[in-house]
Structure 1
Amino acid sequence: MPKAEVFDAGEYFGIMQVEEVEEEEGGDEDMQEKMERKANPGNELCYKVIVTNENGLEAANPNSIFLIDHAWTYRIEHASQQLRQVPGLLHRLASLMGIDFHGEVPDETVVDQVLEDMWKYNQTYQLSHGTAEEKVPVWYIMDEFGSRIQHSDDPSFAIAPLFYMPQQIAYTVLWPLRDLDTGEEVTRDFAYGETDRLIRKCRLLPWLPGVFQDINHFIREPSDEHYQTILDENKEKLPISIKLPMYDTDKVFKVYTDLQQVLQNLTHSRFEFTDAEQEADILYSFSHFKDYRKLSEERPHVMLNQFPCENLLTVKDCLAYISRRVGGSEGPKWLPHTFNLLTELPQFISYFQQRERRGEDNHWICKPWNLARSLDTYVTKSLHSIIRQRESSPKVVSKYIENPVLFHLEDVGLVKFDIRYIVLLRSVKPLKLYVYDVFWLRFSNRPFSLDDLDDYEKHFTVMNYAPGVPLKQIHYDQFIPLFEKQYPECSWKSVEEGISLTRRFVDALFQAAL
């Protein structure tokens, strides 16, 4: 039988409003140490939660475990819209965050302030089952009680999210780490589990201001051991060197595939499908192929739609590492400054603050390492947002191109667009790479401007997966004359020369991958 919910936090805890007294001046290092260790860093007027039960709390007592409700659960792309449309939500969050707001109609200034300050209150979790869209991280803000619990490097409590399946709802579990007496403060570690002093300082930056400009933002490539670890984790077996076979011009290739797209569209007479993988000349597989050695030893003639260690090019953090091998210390000009938030957080913060000091544009795009279709990808100019994004999943952050080349669509205006080329790797030694000159164009649906950063149809171009979103298409041979008309100073031939894969770049990439 389900048990009745008991709202008993008031029997154990109380919330106090306090005003921090400024510390006396002292040495910079001593002052920094005190500021880092004190509760509620960075706020003068704040709330604190204290133990009020006259018997205190025993850590070993099973009744000392509490559930905290959530005031707001959302995904980032819906945050702005919900603040404007959900009745009472903006008022509640503004009050929780100490933002002055008394109007009835959503105030854009207040909405913007909540969207910035929420990163001091946000927590996150993600589901381990479902579609890729359902696995996108969820963010939440605990209720007024949970949000009043302040930081300490020596916390008295710990918290963790709990998704309760019978109710299909998430709570936060709160439990004491030691016995507490009446009057002791309830604190938690905002950078829980982080032992590296510099990374802790970075992670606490949303609450405790700090300067990182003296850190060298230059990124060194990982060691060979880093790539070996990736290879070991993927359990790939590298192939032996083979000689490329020569085929008769009239040979019919047998294709084994588990992809419906291939089954439905590969209709050329020189291909026929087979259900027997062992007799196939071409393996076109959706799943990750791993035993390249066996394939190269036993069936060297078989062609595959994958190549060994391709994740060094398809996973975003590795692609950034490899790409920096061309273009000098700053990397190639076509690669925006990119940082791995897991391993290069101090360098990113340093670079961000240096740009801020120089008055340079500081819009960034934050992406998961290994997701496609713009999932869990966000444009922001908030440093706090980027720092906290690190907690949801492994991510890279790249400088957002604030002045992209735009294309004028008659019914829309000047929009962003991208060009996708199909590249076929036939051989590594000697390098044989083929580029299909029929490219695919994708367009945004709304005119570009550096605002409304959560507007997907303004800042992204992948429209063929979002339900109910129009997909604008122009064939490449129609696009070229239109582009040259809009940019008469640029011939398309010169543009193609600029965006084509150079031999030096390709060599660098594939030497690293193989």
Structure 2
Amino acid sequence: MATATPNSLTQVERDMLAAQIPQSLWPALLAKLKTETFNAGSLFALAESESEHRKYDLQLLKPGGLEKEGEVFLIDHAWTFEPEKAAEQLIAHPALVARLEGMMLETLAEESSDAAADSDDVAEALDIIVSQTGATRDAARASYDRAGGQLVDAIAALTIDPEAAAEAASALAGIQEQVLGNVAAQHTESRERQKDLRLRVKDVVAKLWAFAGTYQAGWRGQDGVVRMSSVWYVMDEVGTAVSHSDAPNVAIVPFIYVSPAGAIPYSVMWPVKRIEEDEIVTRDYVPAGVDRMFLVGITGLDRDAYLNAFFPNARDALSAHFKKISELPPTKTPAVLATSLPALVTPSDVIKIHSTSSISKRLFASESVVVVDDSAGADIAWVENPLVSDLARAAEAVRSTYATPDWFTPTYPVATSLASFAGNYFTDAPPSQHLWLIKDMTRITPPRLTPRIDEALRQRDVGASGIILQKWIEAPALYGGRRFEMSWTVLVARGVGGDAVLLYETPIISVANDPFILADYNSRARQFPEPRLGTNGRFAPDSPTFVKNLEREHPDRRWADVRTDITRVIAKLFAAVLAAAGPGAAQFGLYRVTIELTSTLSPVIVDFESDVDFSGVRAWAADPGAAIAGAALGRPDTGFAIIAA
């Protein structure tokens, strides 16, 4: 086949090209997509795995083996799920729970096969086994009983047995297409293990991340903007049986086939080298781009760290790696912050600001502020490119300037710091519950908590540049028994008598809706604070009520001292950010810093972002644009005060 160029391709061919499927396989794959042909079961069988971490492997049965890129196979998706709703979805679908148990769990609860000896659902199960394996009905019943009523195990047992394998040349020829659809819910319910359904679901969810895959899907919002989101899925019995190898013999990629009937997700598998008969089929679980890297002279272990999502791997080395980087000295000196901001005289009371941002132009516009296009005639040049744009870069600035201070929660971008995160996870001392926050810096996906390293590591599969892992504060200060946080607004003025950092006097307080219980980490109402409204429209932390209640719950600290500590850590943060940025031209920018207090009322920075919409000032000031511009020019009574580290 001649090499195709993108302009000459159909849409499905462009999708195949993007998925890096070999062009020689396109005709066969397209034919299978059009006819929904799943023929992997005619060439492969499930084999009992020798690994203690998985139940089955996939074994090639084809006499003579398979050549490199000699065949292509469609793999169905058994389940598509949302991580935060996975347990809820499974509880609503007991048949799916049974199917996933058959794929994932090494051991299953024993149960009596007599309970449904003559039931219609057993007869239906035997029909499926006979049709899928070609075995006699007596052999199907014997296998079904030996498997304790687990349908997938019964099919696998017949294909593993050499004698039965000869009888079942097309053993799994429709396995992924029929099992879920043909096994009625009443069959699953009548054969439930002795465990309660919720406990069974818990077992499946505990194994989920070792079997899940993901792809990115685009959707168009009401504003017409196309946004990408992650879709998680579990492949069928064939796909989930493929084990890991650093030298794999197959590749498997997700593929969305857009047909007249709609978009249908599959996975596509093909040999990347010759596979011998009876050889175990393997793929590389590690995503492209995750490899052993070098970080400040220390051999990185990101690939080894990632594999802990599937089985224990190099944990001592990861712990040693974390200990080494934790002991590295800072590489930068904190920037010296100006202790005063000279008042700038303007030709008139109206302040002229230069900005190309449509948001800034709208927010600044008032009787006392005008936005101009000519920077030469402006009193203020408003920055369009912030010093540091997000939490991940702020964390790196803090690390290079202060190493690992206790006032900045451990924060790891999954794109670059898997080994550091895993090392931190494995060296956490009791009573840590290993709760980590998965945060999407694009703010498209809501944040969620997990105690599981496999779920955390698998976030590398999801738009890696935008996901961070952050240590959750497990012993926070509480207000009325609820978790709370403070969002502070910071103005940075560069090049006017030095680098000045100004803190707005009043933050926005957010308080969780429900009382805090650490163990209930899946409850957003307990774990994630929400902005609270008060009698003045916002909940002011300097109000007598807030101070009185906080000091009553924490009698060992005065609010005035806590606020001093908050000011100090925010100043240190910006001393690190400015040090990382280096010398710069005169410019101004607004930022938002979120702080939580520990149970001892010690402040910890948990979030950082550029405040493009002035939300922290708009909550309080009648004319936020005038307050911000006035503070930048050193004018009094704006609500901002200069701070220093």
TM-score of the two chains, using structure 1 as the length reference: 0.73
Pick the aligned partner of 2:345 from 222, 246, 252. 246
Deviations 1:61-85 (A, max 9, x none): 4xx1112111121222222321223
Flag the 1:48–1:383 CA change in 2: closer, same or farther, 3 A.
same
Which range moves more in the overlay, 245-254 or 64-73? 245-254
CA contact (8 A) 1:66 1:174 kept: yes
- CA apart distance, 1:185: 2.4
Match of 2:488 in 1: 421
The 5-angstrom pairing of residues 155-174 of structure 1 reads 155-166=248-259, 167-174=262-269
> Runs of 5+ in structure 1 lacking a partner?
21-40, 225-242, 280-294, 409-413, 465-471
The answer to whether structure 1 residue 56 and structure 2 residue 90 are counterparts is: no
Counterpart position of 2:382: 304
For 2:579, give the aligned amino acid. Q
Among candidates 329, 335, 346, match of residue 419 of structure 2: 346
Secondary structure at 2:461's aligned position in 1?
Answer: coil
Query: What residue in structure 1 maps to residue 392 of structure 2?
Result: 317
Task: Report deviation, 1:461.
Answer: 2.7
Q: Aligned to 1:88, which of 81, 90, 95?
A: 95
Tell me which residue corresponds to 1:438.
506
Pairing partner for 1:124 from 214, 238, 249: 214
1:66 aligns with 2:156: no
Q: CA–CA distance in 1 between the matches of 2:514 and 2:525?
A: 6
Which residue, 214, 217, 228 being the options, matches 2:320? 214
> Which residue does 2:461 correspond to in 1?
391
Counterpart selection for 1:406 from 448, 455, 478: 478
What do residues 205-249 of structure 1 show as CA deviations (whole Å, max 9, x unaligned)? 23332432333433458989xxxxxxxxxxxxxxxxxx9963145
Contact 1:480 1:492 in 2 (8 A): no
Output the CA distance in 2 between the equivalents of 1:360 and 1:334: 18
Cα pair 2:355 2:382 within 8 Å, conserved: no
Cα deviation for residue 404 of structure 1 reads 1.0
Report deviation, 1:389: 1.9
The match for 1:381 is 451
- Residue 633 of structure 2 is matched in structure 1 by none
Cα distance, 1:300–1:215 mapped onto 2, change above 3 Å:
same
C-alpha offsets along residues 1-59 of structure 1, whole Å, 9 cap, x if unaligned? 993222322222222235x2xxxxxxxxxxxxxxxxxxxx443x731212223353333
Does the 8 Å CA contact 2:353/2:381 hold for their aligned counterparts? no
Cα distance in 1 for partners of 2:459, 2:329 equals: 23
Q: Report the CA distance shift for 1:186/1:88 in structure 2 as closer, same or farther (over 3 A).
A: same
Q: Is contact 2:354-2:380 (8 Å) kept?
A: no
For residues 436-467 of structure 1, the C-alpha deviation after alignment (integer angstroms, 9 at most, x for no partner) is 21221222222221133233332223579xxx
Higher mean Cα deviation, 253-262 or 200-209? 253-262
Point out the structure with the larger helix share: 2
Q: Aligned residues: percent identity?
A: 24
In structure 2, distance between residues paired with 1:421 and 1:187: 51
1:346 alignment partner, SS class? helix
**Unaligned residue ranges in structure 2 (runs of 5+):** 1-30, 110-191, 293-299, 333-341, 583-645
Contact 1:84-1:106 within 8 A present in 2 as well: no
2:305 aligned partner: 202
C-alpha distance in 1 between matches for 2:473 and 2:409:
8
Residue 232 (structure 1) aligns with: none
CA–CA separation in structure 2 for the residues paired with 1:46 and 1:270: 71
Structure 1 vs Structure 2 CA RMSD: 3.5
Structure-2 change in CA distance of 1:245 and 1:380 (3 Å):
same
Matched, 1:115 2:179: no
* Aligned with residue 9 of structure 1, among 33, 36, 40: 40
Task: Render the CA deviation track for 1:169-228: whole Å, top value 9, x for unaligned.
Answer: 32111111123343232211122545539433322223332432333433458989xxxx
2:307 is matched by which residue type in structure 1? L
Amino acid paired to 1:339: Y
Q: Distance in 1 between matches of 2:460 and 2:484?
A: 28
Change (3 A) 1:249 1:256: same
Instruction: Tell me, yes or no, if structure 1 residue 100 matches structure 2 residue 108.
Output: yes
- Cα 1:425–1:307 shift into 2, 3 Å: farther
Give the conservation status (yes or no) of the 8 Å contact 1:42–1:207: no
> What letter corresponds to residue 71 of structure 1 in structure 2?
A
SS at match of 1:203: helix
Question: Deviations 1:92-142 (Å, cap 9, x if unpaired)?
Answer: 222321263625996333232222211111112223564699523222111
1:179 corresponds, among 259, 267, 274, to 274
Q: CA deviation at 1:352?
A: 2.0
Instruction: Give the 3-state SS of the residue equivalent to 1:135 in structure 2.
Output: strand
Q: Judge conservation of contact 1:252–1:269 (CA < 8 Å) in 2.
A: no
State the AA in 2 paired with 1:59.
K
Counterpart CA distance in 1 for 2:513 and 2:91 is: 23
Deviation of residue 480 (structure 1)? 4.7
Q: Which residue of 2 aligns with 1:283?
A: none
TM-aligned CA deviation for residue 421 of structure 1: 1.6
Structure 1 residue aligned with 2:405: 332
The CA deviation at 1:400 is 0.7
From the CA coordinates, give the structure whose radius of gyration is larger.
2
1:513 CA drift (Å): 1.9
Residue in structure 2 matched with residue 150 of structure 1 by the alignment: 243
Q: Judging changes above 3 Å, is the alpha-carbon distance between structure 1 residues 208 and 87 closer, same or farther for their aligned structure 2 residues? A: closer
| Aligned pairs, number | 431
* 3-state SS in 1 of match to 2:232: strand
In 2, are the aligned partners of 1:253 and 1:271 still within 8 Å (CA)? yes
d(CA) in 2 for partners of 1:200, 1:307? 33
The equivalent of 1:285 in structure 2 is: none
Q: What is the deviation of 1:332?
A: 2.3
Distance change (3 Å), C-alpha of 1:266 and 1:105: farther
Which residue type is aligned with residue 271 of structure 2? P
Partner of 1:139 in structure 2? 232
Further displaced range: 69-78 or 127-136:
127-136
Residues in 2 aligned to 1:430 and 1:256: alpha-carbon distance in whole angstroms: 22
SS of the residue corresponding to residue 401 of structure 1 reads coil
